[in-house]
Structure 1
């Protein structure tokens, strides 16, 4: 991920406020002798200036990272100037385009990135744009990121305060930190938890058949949710170590106002050598209608019934103070994912970003279907994070209050009664909904 590689060079770490980044129980820098301060600064810069791929030693481990190679070769799809991005991040009327400007600005690793992103968090009224921007700050990394995040740890919005603390703690220690709010469980729901996911990804678009020309769009969480759907991770305590349901809904795709429902059942393994967390690797293979137009529910150029695969891996963290059926709840999840997609390059060429970032304007794809594989032209590589939030403002964390339209097996369940609308169907049927 390109943003995650920012501020890791020796040059970018040459002038840092190290004290702002150190844990509170570490002696202040001024108490150290001059040679101790110099040694600390040198050690810190030397450690962080190493590309993590080189730590493995064998180039087979780091030089074979396909996303890293594409990032070095691709040209930016977003053609806005730096000045236009700064303006849009603060003033664009569409919250998706405000956040998208934030992620593009961060991805360019501009000198004033921390200043601009911090200003967005200070002035933005939409909480989802705010916490998405906090994540972009974390992705930039380094002591400046920790210092910027800590400025919002006492924000009036408890969710912004907790996200700030969580991200700063991850950078400082590798582990998240949470506040002490209690939780509420909603009885009668299909899932024990419904965790709202933030997803950031780089879309690498193959622009022609020579494989020499690639485009790149660093897509923020709200932009991804608008195109591909807002995702929720939905575990049940009894099965969470071997399967997980990810439910997605696209808003604004159907003319009748109904949500476009799209469910993915993942299966895999979880490593549980620690009682407070799990490390997982899951895969999904689901039946889907592939739209050759490159737009969800648009059969104008033909369709193909196929199977779409996706992989996700990462770790989840338990909170022993929040119990579900006698077991600690998953308070936080993070990880990476990758897959394939398709867009009709000719149909989006020359269009503005607000014309491109439309509901359903991109579909997932596969390399294993002989009719589809040659159309596949997007490599999707991303990261995700999800935290339990207080959605109704009552001061308590909501464990499973989010609406997800799925049975435990991933079948569509539009009335959320646990019974499938149509056995075996995991995605809306474009032939039966208003589009």
Structure 2
């Protein structure tokens, strides 16, 4: 199940094909043909070269839940027949709740009557959050809006953030394979695969400021030998539109100082680094629950949206490697185009995210802000969670002492 060891000599005659314009009623190509990700989707080479049979087998049987989930999303991405049945079996049998609810998300991505029926069959699942995800996805397919259950909830008023929402993020990573711009490879990352390599992201709103300011905190497990998490925080600022009752449509931007490690691995300074102002954008919509009130405002129960950014992948170190061998903590970093290290940015990352409040401790009550978030209100690293920065102004883990070098 190694990634494609790409021989550019074999594909040098393959030209990136312009989209076929087969009907004048499609509309203005300035709008319809300006999605960079869609162009790459049509022309990129799939770097996961497992057979369809391998993908199906590992979706249900691999020992690593991350690989099982990767395989489920890979099966759907290939458009293979029987995807609804495979995903339904995974939801029924997998032992890991994250795999189960992300398999439900994959069913929503397929859509159609059979997928909807499968989703509806899990609404009363023994795991209340799996059941709520099923209800939510089924409602989105039929109405465009989420639906929730009526469980009770609890919130700690003394924590830094009023809410901590784990984000499930599904992306395609398009890797530039040479300097010609003609050859690109595609790696599809399901939520757990992305979390393992880039870090698990959390949306952290506070009721008083959420319309114009938000922290996205990213914790990466397994990078430090002592077991402490690697932390990367992003302070987003933007605008929220409240034209629809109970929902907020948002567009936020972030820009912060962080190191670009030339090794292509987080905290790996063997090849040196450059300190750059890295930017990011996020847009989407959140839905509030009037039955959950925090500081005079209804809590955000659910958020969904789109993500696109750039990164740096040291692809030469990945050739011939398995998914397990490349999806390890820190193996690839976020980057940006508008800095001196911009030419190193060789990975275009595009996808969608969804997150909702979850009962994390199994007591039957939804946990509104129980997740550990190592950030101040201003996105500074805060390892003891007291809302006092370890080092004022620093949003990225300082293990390598990058900020003083």
Q: TM-score, normalised by structure 2?
A: 0.92
Residue of structure 1 equivalent to 2:382: 413
User: Deviation of residue 432 (structure 1)?
Assistant: 5.4
| SS of 1:358 mapped into structure 2 | coil
Residue of structure 2 equivalent to 1:233: 203
Residue of structure 1 equivalent to 2:125: 155
Residue of structure 1 equivalent to 2:283: 313
Q: 1:101 aligns with which of 67, 71, 82?
A: 71
- Report matched runs for 1:314-393 at 5 Å: 314-370=284-340, 372-393=341-362
Residues 1:139 and 2:139 are matched in the alignment: no
Check whether the contact 2:60–2:94 (CA below 8 A) recurs between aligned residues. yes
Q: 1:213 aligns with which of 183, 201, 206?
A: 183
| SS of 2:58 mapped into structure 1 | helix
- Report matched runs for 1:219-298 at 5 Å: 219-298=189-268
Aligned partners of 2:362 and 2:33: how far apart in 1?
47
Q: Which runs of 5+ in 1 are unaligned?
A: 1-53
User: Deviation of residue 132 (structure 1)?
Assistant: 1.0
| SS of 1:258 mapped into structure 2 | coil
Aligned partners of 1:431 and 1:343: how far apart in 2?
20
Residues 1:84 and 2:54 are matched in the alignment: yes
User: Which whole-Å deviations, capped at 9, do the CAs of 1:121-176 have from their partners, x for residues lacking one?
Assistant: 11101001111111111111222221111111111100000000000100110000
Residues 1:120 and 2:120 are matched in the alignment: no
Check whether the contact 2:311–2:346 (CA below 8 A) recurs between aligned residues. yes
Residues 1:401 and 2:404 are matched in the alignment: no
| SS of 1:423 mapped into structure 2 | coil
User: Which whole-Å deviations, capped at 9, do the CAs of 1:353-385 have from their partners, x for residues lacking one?
Assistant: 110111000001111112x11111000101000
Check whether the contact 2:162–2:207 (CA below 8 A) recurs between aligned residues. yes
| SS of 1:170 mapped into structure 2 | helix
Residues 1:174 and 2:176 are matched in the alignment: no
| SS of 2:267 mapped into structure 1 | coil
Q: TM-score, normalised by structure 1?
A: 0.86
Q: Which runs of 5+ in 2 are unaligned?
A: 1-23
Aligned partners of 2:42 and 2:114: how far apart in 1?
25
Residue of structure 2 equivalent to 1:32: none
Aligned partners of 1:96 and 1:83: how far apart in 2?
18
User: Deviation of residue 62 (structure 1)?
Assistant: 1.3
User: Deviation of residue 352 (structure 1)?
Assistant: 1.0
